[in-house]
Structure 1
Amino acid sequence: MTVEKTILIERDDHVATLTLNRPDRLNSFTAAMHRELAAAIREVDDARVIILTGAGRGFCAGQDLNDRKVAPGEKVDLGETVEESWNPLIRTLKSIPQPVLCAVNGVAAGAGANIALACDLTFAARSARFIQSFSALGLIPDSGGSWHLPRLVGQQRALGLALTGEPIDAEMAEEWGLIWKVLDDDLLMEEVRATAHKLASLPPLGLAAIKKMIRSSWQRSLDEELDLQRDEMRRLGFTEDYAEGVAAFLEKRKATFKGR
């Protein structure tokens, strides 16, 4: 019997699209699916931009509870699941140099919502919903949720989402700054792909530096940030891509960037 892949990989020039592919389970994660996604991200490490989306009517419902069935009275170490599967994924999304664009095509619940928040640019279909569904199980927003939420929407809204578990629709998510952009369902992937190809045409070293600096800026004072800006401008100013960008501008032609 052929086992269907839980992660689909599609390449289009410098853009790689990874699709969570367990639509019958709202793309909820098993341990095997985590391993397959980690391998897929490694496989497309030569792409300049990565798109993450879901198959079917939902983006991701988080952890598949059937993958760690617990008998009545039995205990399970949830910290082990977080440490072995979810934490490495969130750290990878943060640390890889490529911009990661998330296309939330439907419900994003629990850790599934927090995967979306961990991506660099998150787009959502108008029908999408974001749900911090942890409190109903006596848990906390893992997969980076308790870190990203207050930084994106502020403490009151973060607490409201986490404590009540109330769904938030895509339009409100955009209004609150939880996501980058909401789009009509039939335009979602078209817009995400267009943005991905636009980014893929830009200097990759510069994009990687922007991602790294903005994501890590919480750790630095203003003076430290100014010093780092100086150092990065110096480094990037010596790249071939910067020289090509200036030359293309002066010659009124399209630039071709090589990432060096």
Structure 2
Amino acid sequence: MDYQNIILEIDGPKAKISLNRPEVFHALNAPILKELASAFQELGENETIRVITLTATGAEAFCSGADLKDGMANAGRPLGEILAENYEPLIIGIRECPKPVICQMNGIAAGAGMSLALACDLIIANDKTYMTELFVGIGLMPDAGSMYFLPRLVGVQKAFELCSTGRKIYMEEALQLGLVSKVAPANELEATVNQLTDYYASAPTVAIAQMKKVLNLTYESSLQQMLAAEAKGQTRCGFTEDFGEGVMAFLQKRKPEFKGK
């Protein structure tokens, strides 16, 4: 696909997707949402890719949320239809992508931009930025997955507060709440993310994918169902080359060299 609103860069086993609508602080409209969904599908199916970074060009914003001008063009159309058509494929695509997805949150993440960040497996954030569920300011409720991810991270009561006030969540608090995994100074953000992507680029990719798949089931499954999912995923891991390499490296007292197979 010829991408117009995002930049896709591939460096060996590492891929980076950058939102690229700086003139509107990377606001989300139908074209960029479709491009993002396509990119995650493409990278998920690419066996050479072992880790994906999601970020944005520039330094002012990660994503300012839905493009309200795009919304005006759809005036009168049920918002649920727009979500189902444009947002749901992307959010589900990130969660079902068999590769770890790291959000490099280089700037403000607001509204659906916060939802997009929360859909990632890990968030590494610029220490000077903030997140906000600002939907209430225009008379809407959070969407694009926020009502799923947020209470699972911070609890229902705190999620209600953050959603119903739309207040800014600066990174010190976000770290305390567990909304982000790590906070770094702006000039160290990329290097911090690169350290993490280097790790995942040499990690046992199939095992990581199975972890992500089974963890996605945890809130909708009984203990018995989770045990069955673990057994199924572990069976898949047990037939990988990486498992054999890991055992051999342990016995030989050396660092394993995982191939992601």
Range class of TM-score, shorter chain:
over 0.9
Residue type of the alignment partner of 1:21: N
- 1:242 CA displacement: 0.3
Change in Cα spacing, 1:7 to 1:70, as seen in structure 2 (3 Å) is closer
Counterpart in the other structure of 2:173: 172
The residue correspondences of 1:2-81 to structure 2 (distance < 5 A) are 5-45=4-44, 46=46, 47-56=49-58, 57-69=60-72, 75-81=76-82
Give unmatched runs, 5+ long, in structure 1: none
Residue type of the alignment partner of 2:9: E
**Deviations 1:52-95 (Å, cap 9, x if unpaired)?**
00112100011111123269xx6332122111111111100111
- 1:206 CA displacement: 0.1
- 1:38 CA displacement: 2.2
Question: 2-side partners of 1:59 and 1:184: how far apart?
Answer: 15
Question: 2-side partners of 1:86 and 1:227: how far apart?
Answer: 31
Farther off after superposition, 220-229 or 156-165: 220-229
Farther off after superposition, 227-236 or 82-91: 227-236
- 1:24 CA displacement: 1.4
Change in Cα spacing, 1:237 to 1:183, as seen in structure 2 (3 Å) is same
Question: 1-side partners of 2:30 and 2:226: how far apart?
Answer: 39
- The answer on 1:181 being equivalent to 2:146 is no
| Secondary structure in structure 2 of the residue aligned to 1:69 | helix
Counterpart in the other structure of 1:128: 129
Change in Cα spacing, 1:124 to 1:243, as seen in structure 2 (3 Å) is same
Question: 2-side partners of 1:201 and 1:155: how far apart?
Answer: 37
| Secondary structure in structure 2 of the residue aligned to 1:134 | helix
- The answer on 1:231 being equivalent to 2:228 is no
- 1:12 CA displacement: 1.7
Residue type of the alignment partner of 2:106: N
Farther off after superposition, 242-251 or 91-100: 242-251
- 1:32 CA displacement: 1.1
Counterpart in the other structure of 2:89: 88
| Secondary structure in structure 2 of the residue aligned to 1:44 | helix
Farther off after superposition, 75-84 or 193-202: 75-84
Question: 1-side partners of 2:150 and 2:3: how far apart?
Answer: 34
Q: TM-score, normalised by structure 1?
A: 0.92
- 1:193 CA displacement: 1.6
- 1:239 CA displacement: 2.0
| Secondary structure in structure 2 of the residue aligned to 1:33 | helix
Q: Which runs of 4+ in 1 moved over 6 A?
A: none
Give unmatched runs, 5+ long, in structure 2: none
Question: 2-side partners of 1:173 and 1:203: how far apart?
Answer: 29
Farther off after superposition, 62-71 or 155-164: 62-71
Residue type of the alignment partner of 2:183: V
1:8/1:19 contact within 8 Å kept: yes
Farther off after superposition, 102-111 or 181-190: 181-190
**Deviations 1:132-183 (Å, cap 9, x if unpaired)?**
0111111111001111111100111101110011010011011011111111
1:48/1:99 contact within 8 Å kept: yes
Question: 1-side partners of 2:73 and 2:36: how far apart?
Answer: 25
Change in Cα spacing, 1:214 to 1:11, as seen in structure 2 (3 Å) is same
- The RMSD of aligned alpha carbons is 1.8
- 1:245 CA displacement: 1.1
| Secondary structure in structure 1 of the residue aligned to 2:245 | helix
Residue type of the alignment partner of 2:127: R
